[in-house]
């Protein structure tokens, strides 16, 4: 069994397994140049994502720290003991709060550093997803060529040479022009592509990276007397269809990293906000009761300050949720999982090659739509109060 989401055969173990299980078509599955470029860009994307998330959370930290300055004054006065010490300590904290407020405005509302890091992450992620889709679409569109090439060394060499040339064109026209390509995918009319393809017949072919592949895939598949076509379908099922199904199952689960799982984010952030709001109400209620029935040992302003602190922390937690937008991520992944499952069911339930190819096309269209929705959601996400 291949690891989920690894149709590019990134590990040596996956390549060894593929060569043993699919010896006649391994030449079509193995793409060293694409794999090397994918791994290079993927490392950059992961680093940019971490940097973007860190800057976003730091911005929120600055904003929350600034807002907490004045609510902390009664707490400082109660803890310091003498008015002079209390005043000096509060002045120092006030200066820190002011600096934090300025930094929050610069990094948050003006988008400096955060916006640049986030856009670099999304551009790199667009590159990796299109490379992944390029590999799957090329195989889907050129099954007839793979069957014809599998019987001879010359045929295999010719297929690899043509594929490598096509990938070089893709590198020049898309990967090296990612800034302009990213803008095309994140315009609001690009996001409308998802709805247009439901009613626009021409839009059904919009997912193909190379428009010529829509014609290539329509060619009649040759007779499969040697079982090569069956091997292609088996490889597509195990590495692409099953891989995407396993990927969606993972993302929709609650077992794993907080930063990767929207369901886990919803639960943890929701519980945290509920607890903070509850504490704010309880503190406020206690402060009101002390105002009505004073207690000498308890300062009403100190208790009221706790209510404000809890309320500010609750707003900060809500801002983290806005930046991560887990509800939209969950809805996006649930839709994609349903589309992947539909394609998988059609693929496995049919014995007709044409129906299996249609299922693979369904998956590639769903993958493109999911990618566009992902880019739109994250392009407009903000870590601000």
DSSP 154-223: HHHHHHHHHHHHHHHHHHHHTGGGHHHHHHHHHSHHHHTHHHHHHH-TGGGGTT-SSTHHHHHTTSPPPP
- Rounded to the nearest angstrom, the gap between the alpha carbon of residue 287 and the centroid of all alpha carbons in its chain is 44
* Residue 109's pLDDT band (cuts 50, 70, 90): low
Question: By three-state DSSP, how is residue 225 classified?
Answer: coil
Residue 318 burial by Cβ neighbours in a 10 Å radius (0-12, 13-18, 19+): middle
Closest CA to 266 of 282, 253, 249, 281: 253
CA–CA separation, 205 and 198 (whole Å): 11
**Average pLDDT rounded to a whole number, residues 40-67:** 90
The C-alpha atoms of residue 198 and residue 332 are separated, in whole angstroms, by: 17
CB-based contacts of 382, cutoff 8 Å, min separation 6: 108, 322, 323
Q: In the prediction, which pLDDT does 78 show?
A: 76
Residue whose token pair is 């040479």: 161
**Sorting pLDDT into bands at 50, 70 and 90, what band is 189?**
low
By CB neighbour count within 10 A (0-12 exposed, 13-18 middle, 19+ buried), where does 16 fall? exposed
First-residue to last-residue Cα distance in the chain: 45
State pLDDT tens for residues 221-266: 888 778 999 999 999 999 999 999 999 999 999 888 898 899 999 9
| Predicted local confidence at residue 384, as pLDDT | 66
Query: Residues 336-348: what's their mean pLDDT?
Result: 97
- What mean pLDDT do residues 311-335 have? 93
C-alpha 17 chain-centroid distance: 28
The mean pLDDT value for 16-38 works out to: 96
- Asked whether the beta carbons of 252 and 337 are under 8 A apart, the reply is yes
Mean pLDDT of 314-335: 93
322 pLDDT exceeds 80?
A: yes
pLDDT for the residue 285? 94
CA distance 309 to 315: 10
Q: Where are the alpha helices (DSSP H) in the chain?
A: 12-21, 26-29, 32-67, 73-80, 83-104, 114-141, 143-149, 153-173, 178-186, 188-191, 193-199, 212-216, 228-236, 242-251, 262-292, 300-324, 326-349, 353-379
Is residue 53 predicted with pLDDT exceeding 90? no
Q: Tokens in use for 143?
A: 């099954």
Instruction: Quickly state the pLDDT bin for 205 (edges 50, 70, 90).
Output: low
What's the CA gap between 324 and 383, in Å, rounded?
8
**Cβ neighbours, 10 Å, residue 309:** 20
- Across residues 328-335, what is the average pLDDT? 96
CB atoms under 10 Å from CB of 81, counted, come to 9
Per mean pLDDT, which of 27-41, 53-67, 111-125, 202-216 is the most reliable? Answer: 27-41
110 to 55, 97, 336: CA distances (angstroms): 13, 19, 34
The three-state secondary structure class of 264 is: helix
Q: What is the largest CA-CA distance in the chain?
A: 94
Sign of the C-alpha dihedral computed for residues 299, 302, 308 and 310 taken in this order: negative
């Amino acid at each position: 069994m291949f690891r989920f989401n690894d149709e590019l055969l990134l590990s040596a173990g996956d390549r060894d397994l593929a060569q043993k299980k699919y010896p006649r078509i391994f030449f079509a599955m193995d793409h060293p140049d694409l794999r090397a470029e994918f791994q290079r860009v993927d490392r950059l994307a992961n680093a940019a994502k971490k940097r973007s998330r860190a800057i976003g959370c730091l911005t929120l930290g600055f904003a929350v720290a600034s807002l907490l300055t004045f609510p902390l004054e009664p707490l400082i006065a109660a803890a310091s003991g003498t008015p002079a010490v209390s005043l000096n300590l509060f002045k120092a904290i006030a200066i820190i709060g002011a600096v934090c407020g300025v930094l929050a405005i610069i990094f948050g509302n003006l988008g400096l550093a955060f916006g640049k890091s986030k856009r670099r992450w999304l551009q790199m992620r667009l590159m990796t997803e299109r490379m992944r889709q390029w590999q799957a679409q090329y195989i889907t569109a050129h099954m007839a060529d793979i069957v014809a090439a599998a019987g001879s060394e010359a045929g295999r060499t010719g297929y690899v040479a043509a594929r490598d040339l096509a990938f070089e064109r893709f590198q020049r026209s898309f990967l090296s022009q990612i800034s302009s390509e990213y803008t095309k995918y994140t315009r609001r009319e690009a996001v409308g592509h998802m709805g247009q393809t439901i009613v626009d017949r021409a839009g059904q072919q919009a997912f193909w990276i190379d428009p010529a592949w829509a014609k290539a895939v329509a060619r009649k598949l040759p007779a499969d007397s040697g079982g090569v076509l069956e091997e292609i379908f088996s490889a597509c099922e195990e590495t692409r269809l099953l891989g995407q199904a396993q990927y969606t199952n993972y993302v929709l689960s609650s077992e794993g990293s907080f930063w990767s799982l929207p369901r886990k984010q919803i639960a943890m952030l929701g519980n945290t906000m509920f607890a903070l709001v509850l504490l704010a109400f309880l503190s406020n209620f206690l402060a009101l009761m002390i105002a009505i029935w004073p207690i000498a040992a308890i300062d009403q302003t100190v208790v009221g300050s706790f209510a404000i602190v809890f309320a500010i922390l609750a707003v900060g937690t809500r801002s983290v949720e806005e930046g991560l937008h887990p509800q939209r991520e969950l809805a996006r992944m649930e839709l994609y999982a349903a589309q992947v499952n539909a394609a998988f069911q059609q693929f496995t339930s049919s014995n007709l090659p044409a129906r299996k190819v249609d299922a693979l096309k369904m998956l590639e269209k769903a993958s493109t739509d999911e990618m566009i929705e992902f880019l739109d959601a994250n392009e407009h996400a903000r870590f601000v109060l």
